[in-house]
Structure 1
């Protein structure tokens, strides 16, 4: 299955449909069933102690899988998360951007399942792992 949206298309879509958060995320690479997204960490993403908060990490995982799905099926704004599970494995580096490597495990007509591995920029060990399921709107 070929990509239906490239990096620039996804960036424009995110800015148009989600302007409130689009500036937080940088799409670094898109390939079939894969995407790499960066959380451009700001003060609002940090918890006491200066590390990236859990809700910000959830947002990165959620946006990453959402964009991976759209890259494959095209601009369907109403695809929605139906399940998410996150394992927080270690504290992110203080103030560092987070990088999410997202992979689609299943892309069906109705449901998509993806996994995300999050790393602190420059780190070599994952800080979190997430599994997400999305409902895809009918044609």
Structure 2
């Protein structure tokens, strides 16, 4: 896929798709939001909520992992269209710095997008904390064959 190609889904279309397919995460009261999509790209936000904190006052690892996983999924769908059954086959995350108690932002880029496999990376930082990453993740996704 060319880097100059248009996204296959808009932010509005993506949010509607996610609310239908994953209401447990994207339904009423959601904390994860799609901010931007493009070919092989997505920017996500996780609104800060004190329920995300773990002992020590840091945002939990599972919260950051969900942000990374969801962001890569959104980047894939932005590139190939609404394929609900694209699934994570591997997710690796490095926690680099204690995140501040504020929104998290993730920029997700696909490194490889093939017919059956996608590989991407995610940079996560705390809003208004400069360029220092709080986490970096890589993930691999299986894309189902076209029917």
Could you tell me the TM-score, scaled by structure 1's length?
A: 0.95
Quote the Cα distance in structure 2 between the aligned partners of 1:122 and 1:48: 23
Identify the residue that residue 116 of structure 1 maps to in structure 2: 122
Task: Give the deviation of 1:46 after TM superposition.
Answer: 1.4
Aligned residue-pair number? 138
Structure 2 SS opposite 1:20: helix
Equivalent residue number for residue 90 of structure 2? 83
The equivalent residue for 2:141 is 134
Cα distance, 1:43 vs structure 2: 2.4
Structure 1 stretches of 4+ with a deviation exceeding 3 A read none
Moved more, 112-121 or 38-47: 38-47
Cα separation, 2, equivalents of 1:6 and 1:14: 12
Matching residue of 1:49: 56
* 2:106/2:122 contact within 8 Å kept: yes
* Candidates 91, 100, 104, aligned match of 1:98: 104
For residues 76 and 43 of structure 1, the distance between their equivalents in structure 2, rounded to whole angstroms, comes to: 33
CA deviation digits over 1:48-100, x for unaligned, max 9?
2332100010000000000000011111111000011111000000x211000
Q: For 1:90 and 1:120, locate their aligned partners in 2 and report how far apart those are by CA, in whole Å.
A: 10
Please list every run of 5 or more consecutive structure 1 residues that lacks an aligned counterpart in the other structure. none
Specify every segment of 5 or more residues in structure 2 that has no aligned partner in the other structure, as ranges: none
Separation in 2, partners of 1:126, 1:79: 27
Partners in 2 of 1:2 and 1:30 — Cα distance?
A: 10
| Aligned-pair Cα RMSD in Å | 0.9
